[in-house]
Amino acid sequence: MSSAMQFYVSTLLVYAGVYIIAAWGLNLQFGLTGILSFAYILFQSIGAYLAAVFSLGPPASRADVETYAFGANLPFPLPILVAAAGGALLAAVLGPIVLRRLRSDLQAITMLVMSLIATDVISSDQSLLNGATGLSLVPAPLSTVLGLSSLQYQWFFVGMVAVICAIVYFVMNRITSSPLGRALRTVRESERSAAAIGKNVFALRMRAFIVGGAIAAVSGALLVLFIGSWAPGSWLYIETFVLFAAVIIGGSGNNLGVAIGALVVPVGSVEAVQYLPSFGPPGMIDALQWVVIGLLLLLFIWFRPTGLLPERRRYFPVSDLRNGRQAASEADR
């Protein structure tokens, strides 16, 4: 592979990893638990901002380039962990406001509104996170320590994203296949029935919201550490829609399906466009891309609402059933 090609492929792989992680977090909140998490991009964004300011160093050290309210120079894995904690914290704060009493469509609109308010506030307040310009020149993690060539570093980053992907997959898989995942699905299927068998619907929603928020924040942290900049333009509410499209098209509730959805929608549609001969006035291709994503989503909801890979039917393992018979016959005796 030529080095230009390697650059291209490795960049694509990093984006794929980041979007897959983000889609998994949304799958936990929306696919499994049924929360219409229309402020989802906020979790990714808070992760990105936190990872950025905790890599950039104290604000005074960068006063000539950009202004932000707080920051530090933390060693490598810490910015990502701080980001995850920030995402979880944001979910813990927003959750009680949104998930407690409102009907699901009002939950959605309230979160959408929160997303817009956040964009407005962050853009207008220069001192908080450098306003509409956003943060830039975020140092790449370990780049000075490792002393790799820029191409080698690209592949190092791919490896790092792959490892984090594996960790997030492990967490997602443990949750979906556990009694917790099952309880989350009861909330999605029928809130009142879940409550009627003693499930604390709000607490379960909060669990999904917080873990999903932390996962989204990790994706944001990886993204900002890779591209080095983050601004309000990177997290408009429409980005939430892209991830919803990815989850629904891929197969809401199915971790593998959702990963495929993330490859098809955000990564695939953006990259596919690059190979098209450019036509029409400037911006036309971008607009058509959105039309295609929107239509694709509507077509899927109409023809295949379960997505490319539908949620797996959960069979109980044979061992449960066999031991079940023993236990049952013992109980009879």
Site for another protein in 111-170 (CB under 8 A): 112-114, 116-117, 120-121, 123-124
Residues 88-107 that bind another protein (CB under 8 A): 97, 100-106
Side-chain-facing half-sphere of 285: CA atoms under 13 Å: 13
Cβ proximity to another protein, 69 vs 100, nearer residue: 100
Nearest alpha-carbon partner for 13 in 163, 137, 136: 163
* Distance of alpha carbon 301 from alpha carbon 294, whole angstroms: 11
CA distances for 297 relative to 104, 108, 306, angstroms: 20, 18, 11
Query: Minimum CB separation from another protein for residue 249, in Å?
Result: 11
The nearer residue to another protein, 102 or 308, going by C-beta atoms, is 102
Q: Using the minimum distance from each CB to another protein, give the nearer residue, 277 or 325.
A: 325
- What is the identity of the amino acid at 154? Q
Angular region, 251: left φ>0, alpha ψ -120 to 50, beta rest: left
Number of residues lying near another protein (CB under 8 A) = 88
- Closer of 12 and 102 to another protein (Cβ): 102
Q: 114, 213 in Cβ contact below 8 A? A: no
Here the tokens at position 253 are 């509730």
- Site for another protein (CB under 8 A): which residue of 109, 128, 142, 308? 109
The least CB distance from residue 142 to another protein, in Å, is 28
Segment 293-332, which members bind another protein (CB under 8 A)? 293-295, 297-298, 301-302, 305, 311, 313-316, 319-321, 323-328, 331
**Site membership for another protein, residue 239 (CB under 8 A):** no
Could you tell me which of 294, 301, 96 has the C-alpha nearest to residue 205? 96
| Footprint of another protein on 29-88 (CB under 8 A) | 34, 36
Structure tokens belonging to residue 126: 């220069």
One residue of 50, 81, 91, 175 binding another protein per CB under 8 A: 175
Question: Which residues ranging from 176 to 235 are in contact with another protein (CB under 8 A)?
Answer: 178-183, 185-186, 189-203, 206-207, 211
Which residues in the 8-27 window bind another protein by CB under 8 A? none
107 vs 240: CA distance, rounded Å: 15
Task: Name the minimum Å distance from CB 92 to another protein.
Answer: 10
Diameter over CA atoms, the chain: 81
Per the CB < 8 A criterion, the answer to whether 83 and 46 are in contact is yes
Min separation Cβ 139 and another protein, Å: 31
CB of 196 to another protein, least distance (A): 5
Judged by CB, which is closer to another protein: 152, or 193? Answer: 193
Check if the beta carbon of residue 154 is closer than 8 Å to that of residue 6.
yes
Q: Which two tokens stand for residue 110?
A: 């309230």
Q: Which is nearer to another protein, 4 or 328 (CB)?
A: 328
Nearest to 181 by CA among 207, 149, 158: 207
Tokens of 21: 């992680």
Sign of CA dihedral 215, 217, 220, 225: negative
Considering only 2, 144, 278, 281, the residue that binds another protein (CB under 8 A) is 281
Dihedral angle, C-alpha 37, 39, 43, 45, nearest 10 °: 150
Min dist CB 206 to another protein, Å, is 6
The nearer residue to another protein, 113 or 137, going by C-beta atoms, is 113
Shortest distance in whole angstroms from residue 260 CB to another protein: 19
Residue 24 or 241 with smaller CB distance to another protein? 241
- What is residue 69's DSSP assignment? S
Residue 275 C-beta: closest distance to another protein, Å: 19
Q: Which is nearer to another protein, 138 or 248 (CB)?
A: 248
